[in-house]
Amino acid sequence: MHRSRSRLGRRSFLVGAGTGLGTAGLGLGATATATARPQAPAPVPSFAPGRPILFRGATVVTGDPRLGTRQNADVLVTGATIKAVGPRLAAPSNAVVVDGRDRILMPGMIDTHRHMWQTVLRGVGAEWTIANYFRFMYEEWGPYWRPEDVYAGNYLSMVEAINSGVTTSLDWSHALYTYEHAEAAADALFDSRGRARLAFGDISAGPQKWAVDGDVDRLLRARFSSKDQLVTLQLAWDPPGDPAFPERPAWEFARDRDLMVTQHAGVWDFSTDAGISILRDNGFLLPTNTYVHAGTLTDSAYRMIADSGGNVSISAESELNAGQGYPPTGKVREHGIPVSLSMDTSVWWSSDMFSAMRATLNADRGLDHQAAHAEGKTVINNDLRTEDVLHYATQGGADALGLGSKLGSITPGKLADLVMLRADTPSMVPLTNAVHQIVFQASRAEVDTVLVNGRVLKYGGALIAPDLKRATRLAEASRDHIRDKAGAQQWAAGQEPPPYQAA
């Protein structure tokens, strides 16, 4: 099997090649101070608004191809912005200095597809396929969500994301049955203090019915007058199936307002090449479109997406468990389609982007090995690399949301959405190759400090904002409401589907 893949972002995380920002060490130096840190938790410094923050002496995985990964480097944040990256930066007089020794500083991770409203039913669908999911979440239980349940799911999902080092999440919000539901979804995202994109959707009807009925415009006026705020708006619906294209008014609405559209495409026999062709024939295969999963398209559809400039969001844990199609990293790389990663829903999974990176690598490499073995060959060198999936989880996500010039790497001038990982834990010592270890060793347990827009939301392993206790109380109440509506028998049956069956 020969593949000629474009190297989207490859090498971005490699050690910088001398750019006037000081010499970068090659690996082992960062462990020198590993035993010096006291065990007692340090008091939280006063991160008052306006005080610059200087991270001192960290291993900085910038994700910026010009800067690479730098050992014992400093990062200065002023206001919402990354001001400087380099060795021994001068601390402004009122700066808070954060000790970066035994720490990795990396760009905040970005999840481009997450059904946050479902987080109140965390864990319920662990045994599900997509068939079980459609039955329970779309048909039977989904209609029970009230505005307060959407709020609870979104707020908890943002708590989880921020705690996990996911600084931007796209809320694929397809339970916005009324304006009040939409308002609740938006309010929860704003209240979290994290960065989010509300992707307005409604599974109860085709988008030509709800996108143009006034609610989206009303919400735009009420909550989204600026494009520079932490939470922004776009649209979410699935590709057309009918060549008559009844969804045209919705697509015209999106285009007229310059709103991006994300859609589940290439999802086994639920969404096929036909949807991509219909969009192309009607002029709506736009460069701003995101195609989620995209696992079962043919080369012809991948080529159309590539030619249009669109991008793909891969949810490898979801695709492999639920059956939307095989994670298409190989195919989309062959066609040069930009990739971001996502975690889909906490009904099965979590907002753990470390899992997303690992599952993506596992799926891609496993397929290559299987294909080679089928031909009696051995894969000598792996194709997809850790730096690729780290790029997908950071800059790839920023690019997919149209925020690539502002987010996705630790680059002076970009917004300060940063994650600091502990590198002195049993899972991380000795720190030898930060990119490799972020992808295959780190977990949410290592997420020490999280900044969004220059604001510290987690420090020393503890959340400062948003409020987990409040999220828990709200989510438990919503879970109980849905459980009561479902009834004991169906609630139990929904969690334990019958044994394996295919039809």
Beta bridge partners of 97: 54
Toward Zn ion, which CB reaches closer, 171 or 344? Answer: 344
Least distance between Zn ion and beta carbon 157 (Å): 13
Cis bond leading into 466, ω under 30°? Answer: yes
- Kindly write out the interface string for residues 1-40 of this chain, putting x where it contacts Zn ion by CB under 5 A and - elsewhere: ----------------------------------------
Toward Zn ion, which CB reaches closer, 344 or 446? Answer: 344
Q: Half-sphere exposure (CA, 13 Å, Cβ side) for 369?
A: 7
- Separation in Å, CA 226 to CA 99, 193, 220: 36, 16, 9
Least distance between Zn ion and beta carbon 407 (Å): 22
Residue labelled with tokens 């610059």: 52
CA distance 158 to 167: 9
Least distance between Zn ion and beta carbon 165 (Å): 21
Give residues 331-390 in contact with Zn ion (rule: CB under 5 A): 344
Least distance between Zn ion and beta carbon 265 (Å): 11
Least distance between Zn ion and beta carbon 169 (Å): 13
Return the exposure string of 343-353: e unless at least 16 CB atoms fall within 10 Å of the residue's CB, then b.
bbbbbbbbbbb
CA distance 333 to 378: 21
Least distance between Zn ion and beta carbon 73 (Å): 38
Determine how β-strand 103-107 pairs with β-strand 418-422. Answer: antiparallel
Beta bridge partners of 171: 114, 198
Q: Half-sphere exposure (CA, 13 Å, Cβ side) for 36?
A: 9
**For the residues of 477-494, what is the DSSP string, one character each?**
HHHHHHHHHH-HHHHHHH
- Kindly write out the interface string for residues 234-263 of this chain, putting x where it contacts Zn ion by CB under 5 A and - elsewhere: ------------------------------
Toward Zn ion, which CB reaches closer, 149 or 344? Answer: 344
Least distance between Zn ion and beta carbon 125 (Å): 12
Toward Zn ion, which CB reaches closer, 344 or 364? Answer: 344
Q: Which two tokens stand for residue 123?
A: 């864990």
- Kindly write out the interface string for residues 287-326 of this chain, putting x where it contacts Zn ion by CB under 5 A and - elsewhere: ----------------------------------------
| 391 φ, ψ (degrees, to nearest 5) | -65, -45
CA distance 301 to 283: 15
Toward Zn ion, which CB reaches closer, 215 or 344? Answer: 344
Q: Tell me the one-letter amino acid at 489.
A: Q
Toward Zn ion, which CB reaches closer, 160 or 344? Answer: 344
Least distance between Zn ion and beta carbon 115 (Å): 6
How many residues in the shown chain lie near Zn ion by CB under 5 A? 1
Q: Which residue is nearest to Zn ion (CB)?
A: 344
Determine the 3-state secondary structure of 201 from DSSP: coil
CA distance 231 to 326: 32
Toward Zn ion, which CB reaches closer, 344 or 352? Answer: 344
Alpha-carbon 334 to chain mean position: 23
Q: How many CB atoms lie within 10 A of CB 461?
A: 13
Using a 10 angstrom Cβ sphere, with 0-12 exposed, 13-18 middle and 19 or more buried, the burial of residue 359 is buried
Least distance between Zn ion and beta carbon 344 (Å): 5
Toward Zn ion, which CB reaches closer, 317 or 344? Answer: 344
Q: How many residues does the chain have?
A: 503
Q: Tell me the one-letter amino acid at 388.
A: D
CA distance 16 to 48: 33
Toward Zn ion, which CB reaches closer, 8 or 347? Answer: 347
Least distance between Zn ion and beta carbon 342 (Å): 8
Toward Zn ion, which CB reaches closer, 207 or 466? Answer: 207
Q: Which two tokens stand for residue 17?
A: 């090649």
Toward Zn ion, which CB reaches closer, 71 or 173? Answer: 173
| Helix (H), strand (E) at residue 339 | strand 339-341
Least distance between Zn ion and beta carbon 264 (Å): 5
Least distance between Zn ion and beta carbon 210 (Å): 18
Toward Zn ion, which CB reaches closer, 74 or 344? Answer: 344
**For the residues of 11-62, what is the DSSP string, one character each?**
TTTSBP---SS-PPP-SGGGGTTTT-S-SSPPPPP---TT--EEEEEEEEE-
Binding site for Zn ion (CB under 5 A): 344
